[in-house]
Structure 1
Amino acid sequence: MLEKAKAFATEAHKGQKRKISNEDYIVHPIRVAHTLQQAQSSKELICAAFLHDVVEDTPYELEDIEKEFGPAVKKLVASHTEDKTKFWLDRKARTIEVVRTGNLEVKSLIVADKWDNLQSIEEGQHKMGEMIWSYFNSTYDQQKWYYQSVAENMWVGLPEKEAPEFFHTYSKTVQRFFT
């Protein structure tokens, strides 16, 4: 199932590039899946990591995910799929609410994704300085608010001892990068 999800995502994202690094887009879902594998997450959650941007950024729909990978994977992907017809602030506010109210699997998918994104931004800033922010539809302050809000809200309803180690690493990355 994991190899199938990786292959599906690779084909779906074929030809897409990351906006900062220009690397093949699939590298991002692979890194998110790797983070969740390292945390010994469920097979369904790791599949969702490979597939988390497919509905958002390709012609595939949630029904395609369910048909190929079942309702549990579809539900996880759906929890983290943004409606691109909405404004940036509305989309991010929804993600913050989902991470605040979600179960550990939903929180883990979002935090692993945001951690990888933030690491890419940090690497890009080292290479291009403040020009990095020209790649976004939002300002530095908006990005700071977003990443800090995810870091604050991921702990709601989650005892710290139950959180995967990468939650702590994400928090430290946010603090380091946005201070």
Structure 2
Amino acid sequence: MSQDLAALPLVLDACAFATRMHGKQQRKYTGEPYVLHCLEVARTVADVGGTPTMIVAALLHDVIEDTEATIEDVRAAFGEDIAQGVAWLTDASRPEDGNRAIRKAIDRAHLARAPAEMKTVKLADVISNTRSIVEHGDGFARVYLREISSLLEVLTEGDPALLRLAQAEVERGTAKWLT
């Protein structure tokens, strides 16, 4: 318990950083503040016993892709371990790498090499995104579900309960959007 309390300032700092960086961004389909997605991912990671590093990485998992923040900003604010975690969770592909299929293959290969802890964080992200896209989405759900089915194949070292839940969410989405 004291270790959990010792990490609280770090987690709160990460929450404030994510809130500041995501600013007025809104979640596609729902219009909710984007940072709520980050909080949901972090809560899911915490619920399966994630370490403080995992929880902070979950809070920050989209700041490099979706905001002006750089990996150097994350490193300066939170240290090398968290910066490495966020780097694993950030897409490795760039638009100039090719079409969407090529970029997703690059990102999948990147995550395949990630440590199990970051695969757990990614599973929490997949669960949150899949639920939102399946419930509120449009035709993009069909593309997304195929991509995520493939991604789950490289996330098997993540938390087993989250892997099962992610697979169930994809199956639910597939039943709705692909049949």
TM-score range, shorter chain: 0.7 to 0.9
In the TM superposition, what is the alpha-carbon distance from 1:102 to its structure 2 partner?
A: 2.1
SS in 2 for 1:167: helix
* 1:91 Cα deviation after fit: 3.0
Q: Which moved more, 1:115-124 or 1:92-101?
A: 92-101
Give, as a single letter, the amino acid of the residue that structure 2 aligns with 1:85: P
The higher relative CO (CA closer than 8 Å, separation ≥ 6) is in: 1
Q: Does residue 38 of structure 1 match 2:50?
A: no
Match of 1:147 in 2: 148
Show the counterpart of 1:129.
none
Question: Is the 1:56–1:84 contact (alpha carbons within 8 Å) kept by the matching residues of 2?
Answer: no
Instruction: Give, as a single letter, the amino acid of the residue that structure 2 aligns with 1:47.
Output: V
For residues 63 and 149 of structure 1, what CA distance do their matches in structure 2 show?
A: 31
SS of residue in 2 equivalent to 1:148: helix
Q: Is residue 2:176 matched to residue 1:175?
A: no
Deviation by residue 1:36-87 (Cα, 9 ceiling, x = unmatched): 0001111011101111111111111000000000011100111121245344
TM-score by length of 2: 0.83
Q: What CA deviation, in whole Å up to 9, does each residue of 1:88-129 have, x standing for no partner?
A: 32332123223333221121121111111001112204xxxx
What stretches of structure 1 of length at least 5 have no aligned partner? 126-131
Separation (CA, whole Å) in 1 of partners of 2:19 and 2:102: 29
Q: How many corresponding residue pairs? A: 163
Q: Is the 8 A contact 1:66 1:73 kept in 2?
A: yes
In 2 relative to 1, CA 84–21 (structure 1 residues): closer, same or farther, beyond 3 Å? farther
Farther off after superposition, 96-105 or 112-121: 96-105
Residue 27 in structure 1 maps to residue 23 in structure 2: no
- After the TM superposition, list the runs of 4 or more consecutive aligned residues in structure 1 that deviate by more than 3 angstroms: none
2: CA distance between counterparts of 1:44 and 1:17? 25
One-letter code of the match for 1:39?
Answer: V
